[in-house]
Amino acid sequence: MKTLMHICCAPCSIVPTESLRRQGMEVMGFFYRHNIHPYSECVKRQQTLEQYSRKIDLRVIYQEDYDMEGFVRNVAYRESNRCSYCYHDRLRTTALMARRGKFDYFSTTLLYSKFQKHDTIRSIDESVGKALGVPFFYQDFRTGWKTGITASKELGMYRQKYCGCIYSEKERFYRPKTDRAKITDRPKI
Ligand code: SF4
């Protein structure tokens, strides 16, 4: 069975890739770039994945363009709900590629992260899969959360400190003077 797996970053890909391979699946990765800002950060994450995928013999398709402007335009004035747009665009793009490449399933490493909105991702995945006629492979990869962290540290991987978009970078590092203690519920990685 061939699965196209959307990969958000190398550290998050360790557990899902190993798990799917253990289940006998042939896995190919897809790295989506529009939501990773700024560009130098996107390149850093991509290079980390390139190194890791060579090491484990994983073929990965890298999105060629970098439409940061389109991403920002699409979430403008609804920044507080931007993750739904972001998940949907990443997963729809993956499903379309899976359909074109005649994959049996599509999936995502977003299902590994404890910081992401797991149930929202699952529901978007399922509806995108139904609409496009590509089966979505669901698994709760969060059970391997600690294993993945340990493995990525042992491999000396670059581990980013924020989710991806420029808004998440601000939320991770900026604290207004009047509200230093405020903690947002946005995903960190
Ligand atoms: S916080 Fe993460 S999931 Fe949400 S919009 Fe930004 S990159 Fe996408």
pLDDT digits (tens, 9 = 90+) for 156-165: 999 999 999 9
Closest ligand 1 atom to residue 75 Cα is 5
In this prediction, residue 176 carries a pLDDT of 84
With 60 as the cut, is the pLDDT of residue 183 above it? no
What pLDDT score does 156 carry? 98
Predicted pLDDT of residue 181: 58
Dihedral pair phi/psi, residue 29, rounded to 5° = -100, 160
Does ligand 1 come within 6 angstroms of the Cβ of 163? Answer: yes
The DSSP letter of residue 89 is H
Residues 6 or more apart whose Cβ sits within 8 Å of residue 147: 14, 15
The pLDDT score that the predictor gives to residue 175 is 87
pLDDT digits (tens, 9 = 90+) for 22-69: 999 999 999 999 999 999 999 999 999 999 999 999 999 999 999 999
- Residue 180 alpha carbon to ligand 1 centre in Å: 22
Indicate if ligand 1 lies below 6 Å from the C-beta of 86: yes
